[in-house]
């Protein structure tokens, strides 16, 4: 099994000086900064036959999660990083990986990125339309920003499962996303919870989710708590209504929460 040399991670003070964006209104994008945490979390995911799997990773940051996947024997890791400072760091990491890690300076938030990924030189030849099984050769993962952008992205991924768009146009692909506490509470909110939202209902209709691992605050830069959540698309979604009708009704239910239910349904 290959072992990518674990990069010497900066201290949080060094990271703050080098990677924090300039400007008081700009918040730094969180990155996993503890390789042991990454390795433990990956073991709990229990990905079968990683030597046959290509991972597509969003926002790798310092590449700690990337390194854990490489050392677990993943066949190929395509990592999407468009932040210039993180991209420089990831480019250096990729150079030492003997071709296992491939850096694309793209943003996972952009629709065009997924069109690019479907080219034959990336994952275009790995499409599998057999939804009776979980895709044996693709894995979708990453670390979501602690911003509205992170929530919007996760909500889009939830809709893409049932609509079979973006990554899920390639098959029934397991996802595992690192997400901040506030987003985790919304995404996993059960019925009756005050955090319940359109995104959590859409996800429940089309996938099973499992909380895999929770970091300690100092495992992340900046120090904050993140959760790794596995999202496994269902072979058949749990609703029989037309999907656009389902989403339309949900949208109005949550936009008009203070109105009587009879009015919202009309």
The owner of tokens 């700690």 is 64
The model's pLDDT over 14-39, given as tens digits with 9 standing for 90+, comes to: 998 888 777 655 667 899 999 999 99
Q: Is the pTM of this model over 0.85?
A: yes
Query: What is the spatial distance between Cα 37 and Cα 78, in angstroms, rounded to a whole number?
Result: 21
Query: What is the spatial distance between Cα 182 and Cα 189, in angstroms, rounded to a whole number?
Result: 11
What is the model's pLDDT at position 227? 98
What is the model's pLDDT at position 3? 63
List residues forming the annotated binding site: 32, 81, 107, 125
E strands present in the chain: 31-32, 54-58, 76-80, 101-104, 138-143, 174-180, 207-214, 220-221, 226-233
Pair 108, 132: CB distance under 8 Å: no
The model's pLDDT over 124-183, given as tens digits with 9 standing for 90+, comes to: 999 999 999 999 999 999 999 998 999 999 999 999 998 899 999 999 999 999 999 999
More confident residue, 250 or 157: 157
Q: Which pLDDT band holds residue 89 (cuts at 50, 70, 90)? A: very high
What is the model's pLDDT at position 74? 97
Residue 188, CA distances (Å) to 118, 179, 180, 199, 226 in order: 30, 11, 12, 9, 13
Query: What is the spatial distance between Cα 162 and Cα 17, in angstroms, rounded to a whole number?
Result: 42
List residues forming the annotated binding site for S-adenosyl-L-methionine: 32, 81, 107, 125
What is the model's pLDDT at position 262? 78
Q: What is the mean pLDDT of the chain?
A: 91
Query: What is the spatial distance between Cα 170 and Cα 70, in angstroms, rounded to a whole number?
Result: 22
Query: What is the spatial distance between Cα 266 and Cα 262, in angstroms, rounded to a whole number?
Result: 6
Query: What is the spatial distance between Cα 108 and Cα 79, in angstroms, rounded to a whole number?
Result: 10
Helix (H, G, I), strand (E, B) or coil at 143: strand
- According to the 3-state scheme, what is the secondary structure of 78-89? EEECCCHHHHHH
Q: Which of 70, 83, 78 is nearest to 123 (CA)?
A: 78
**pLDDT surpasses 60 at 93:** yes
Furthest CA-CA distance within the chain: 62
Domains annotated for the chain, with CATH where assigned, are: 28-235 (3.40.50.150)
**Which phi and psi (to 5°) does residue 89 adopt?**
-60, -45
Q: What whole-number percentage of the chain has pLDDT above 90?
A: 75
């Amino acid at each position: 099994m290959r072992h990518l040399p674990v990069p010497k991670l900066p201290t949080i003070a060094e990271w703050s000086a080098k990677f924090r964006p300039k400007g008081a209104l700009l918040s730094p994008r969180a990155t996993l900064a503890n390789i042991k945490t990454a390795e433990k979390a990956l073991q709990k995911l229990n990905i079968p036959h990683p030597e046959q799997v290509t991972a597509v990773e969003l926002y790798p940051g310092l590449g700690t999660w990337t390194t854990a996947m490489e050392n677990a024997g993943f066949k190929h890791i395509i990592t999407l990083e468009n932040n210039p400072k993180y991209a420089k760091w990831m480019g250096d990491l990729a150079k030492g990986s003997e071709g296992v890690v491939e850096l694309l300076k793209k943003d996972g938030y952009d629709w065009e990125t997924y069109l690019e990924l479907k080219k034959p030189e990336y994952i275009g030849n790995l499409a599998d339309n057999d939804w009776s099984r979980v895709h044996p050769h693709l894995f979708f993962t990453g670390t979501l920003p602690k911003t509205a952008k992170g929530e919007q992205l996760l909500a889009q991924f939830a809709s893409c499962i049932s609509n079979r768009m973006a990554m899920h146009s390639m098959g029934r692909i397991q996802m595992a996303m690192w997400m901040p506490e506030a987003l985790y509470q919304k995404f996993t909110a059960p019925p009756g919870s005050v955090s319940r939202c359109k995104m959590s209902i859409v996800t429940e209709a089309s996938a099973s989710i499992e909380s895999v691992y929770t970091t300690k605050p100092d495992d992340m830069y900046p120090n904050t708590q993140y959760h790794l959540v596995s999202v496994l698309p269902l072979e058949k979604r749990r609703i029989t209504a037309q999907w656009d009708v389902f989403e339309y009704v949900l949208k109005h239910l949550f936009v008009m929460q203070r109105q009587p239910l009879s009015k919202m349904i009309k």
